[in-house]
Homo-oligomer: A and B are copies of this chain.
């Protein structure tokens, strides 16, 4: 089988996108690790909790929102718990479930870390684009998510409605 190859325009877009996907995590991880001793995934976990009602989420829900497997999340939350940023309690209404809650220390950490993180995002991404391009990027990324996340598992995070479903 021989699928149609990529045109020059497609190749350019694809190769650059791959480069971005390769470089961006390192930039984010580096800044957060230096400034707060957190990996980007750690920060994302804390951020998801900070936006949840009562700063609490069930492990399963937290796993889908962070696109993590349950074992991975379990390990990460255990480490965050050892640092006092998160606490786990058995869910009163379902004995199988565990609720993860952001502690006051964790909340303070998020508030202290967010400005530097936002500054990094501005510096390396948003400020490089025109307002028009920001809109185009939202459209394009939305379209990609329709393919990358057809079940909408992350839809609760990235907002409303991929057009694909």
By a beta-carbon cutoff of 8 Å, the part of chain A in contact with chain B is 1-27, 44, 67, 115, 118-119, 121-129, 131, 133-149, 154, 157-159, 161, 163
Contact = CB atoms under 8 A, between A and B. Distances in A.
A133 B138 contact: no
Number of copies: 2
Contact of A161 (B11, B122, B138, B157): B11
A141 B16 contact: yes
Contact of A126 (B10, B22, B154): B10
Contacts of A16: 137-138, 141-142, 145, 158-159
Please classify the interface of chain A as helix (H, G, I), strand (E, B), loop, or mixed, using the class held by over half of its residues. helix
A112 to B, nearest CB: 11
Given A133-B136, A158-B15, A143 B128 contact: yes
A65 to B, nearest CB: 10
B118 A157 contact: no
Nearest to A68: B22
